[in-house]
Amino acid sequence: MPIDPYIVVLLGTVGLAALLPARGTAADVASGASTAAIAFLFFLYGARLSTREALDGLKHWRLHSTVLICTFVLFPVFGLAARGLVPALLTQPLYQGLLFLTLVPSTIQSSIAFTSIARGNVPAAICAGSFSSLVGIVVTPLLAAVLLGGDDVGFSTDSLVKIVLQLLVPFLAGQVLRRWIGSFVTRHKKVLGLVDRGSILLVVYTAFSEGMNQGIWHQVSPVRLAGLLGVEAVLLAVMLVLTWYGARALGFGREDRIAIQFAGSKKSLASGLPMASVLFAGHASLAVLPLMLFHQMQLMVCAVIAKRRARDPEAAPDAPEETADASGGTGNPSEGSAAHPVQGQPQDRVLR
């Protein structure tokens, strides 16, 4: 199964934060830079997303509602059920990170890539992931306040406003300015993709530097990490099964079921990281660790599933690939900038 090279760099960033954490003034500079970088990242996502495709996607409300229910209802239910694994298998901080993982929005870029490879409904995957990301900007903090609570989660009206200002406002600004800069963003999508990756790396470095400064790494042992991986593997398997067979029970066709499975079983690293940095503050490093592990796991497993789906007898071998606004309409507040893949070909660098 493929290992995304970006994940190797991501883990290297964690190692750098462990060896050379930012402290004092450097920590303040890194925090401000990461906030600005994420805001700019979401501005670019807004400039890429085709408003026309988003509006057209509203017509397929049953599919989008199904993805939202999987993302913000079923996932949190399983997250709450995992509370019974504390303290036998998970520590309380790791469980909080796992529960937070179940609350973040779905991805879009990887959902698009895998839906395309599997010959599914690509426009539906684009819209479903986009709607999930926008809804999650408000719903995820509210769910975190209700389900997590306590002193470890700094939820308040100010924190919600901060998340909206950092994620939603830049995204809407990109949508407004798309008319003038959309073509520029499309032409330079590969160069601007470095902003996507660099922004996430900067947020990861800042969060884990803060964790080192707080001295929280003694709470994690190899045995606990192995237990966390096992729990996440079960969670991913259950959601993949439910999204596929549940969508069939609801009467969706094959192409729609593929979009529901890939959009409804994933969690976004790009949206989750900045939210965690706001909600968890000094505890953000442990809070995002389960999300980082789940992110790589979902990419590896879904890459295999997508290739198998492409060989299904039901798949139309000559079906043309559908895109949204070429490459400029596939970006959104939960994904990276990797280009939409050619149908039937694997995506080597699918992000977030």
pLDDT of residue 60: 83
Least confident range of 54-68, 124-138, 143-157, 263-277? 143-157
Note whether residue 324 is domain-resident: no
Residue 350 has pLDDT above 50, yes or no: no
Note whether residue 259 is domain-resident: yes
Instruction: List the one residue out of 344, 271, 267 whose CA is nearest residue 308.
Output: 344
Note whether residue 70 is domain-resident: yes
pLDDT of residue 71: 97
Note whether residue 27 is domain-resident: yes
Q: Note the pLDDT tens digit of each residue in 84-130.
A: 999 999 988 899 999 999 999 998 778 888 998 899 988 888 888 88
Instruction: List the one residue out of 65, 11, 33, 19 whose CA is nearest residue 250.
Output: 65
Note whether residue 332 is domain-resident: no
Q: List the domain range (segments joined by +) for residue 118.
A: 5-310
Note whether residue 341 is domain-resident: no
Least confident range of 65-74, 142-151, 229-238, 339-348? 339-348
Which CATH number belongs to the domain containing residue 294 in this structure? 1.20.1530.20
Q: Note the pLDDT tens digit of each residue in 275-311.
A: 888 888 666 777 888 998 898 899 889 988 998 998 8
Note whether residue 319 is domain-resident: no
pLDDT of residue 226: 92
Note whether residue 20 is domain-resident: yes
In the chain, how many domains are there? 1
Compute how many other C-beta atoms are within 10 angstroms of the C-beta atom of residue 3: 10
With cut-offs at 50, 70 and 90, classify the pLDDT of residue 330: very low
Q: Note the pLDDT tens digit of each residue in 23-32.
A: 888 888 988 8
Of residues 57 and 137, more confidently modeled: 137
**Three-state SS sequence of 317-346:** CCCCCCCCCCCCCCCCCCCCCCCCCCCCCC
Q: Give long-range contacts, CB 8 A cutoff, 24+ apart: 57-63.
A: 57/123, 57/124, 57/126, 57/127, 57/128, 57/130, 57/131, 58/127, 60/124, 60/127, 60/256, 62/250, 62/252, 63/121, 63/124, 63/128, 63/252, 63/256, 63/259, 63/260
Helical segments of 250-283, H only: 254-264, 269-279
pLDDT of residue 280: 80
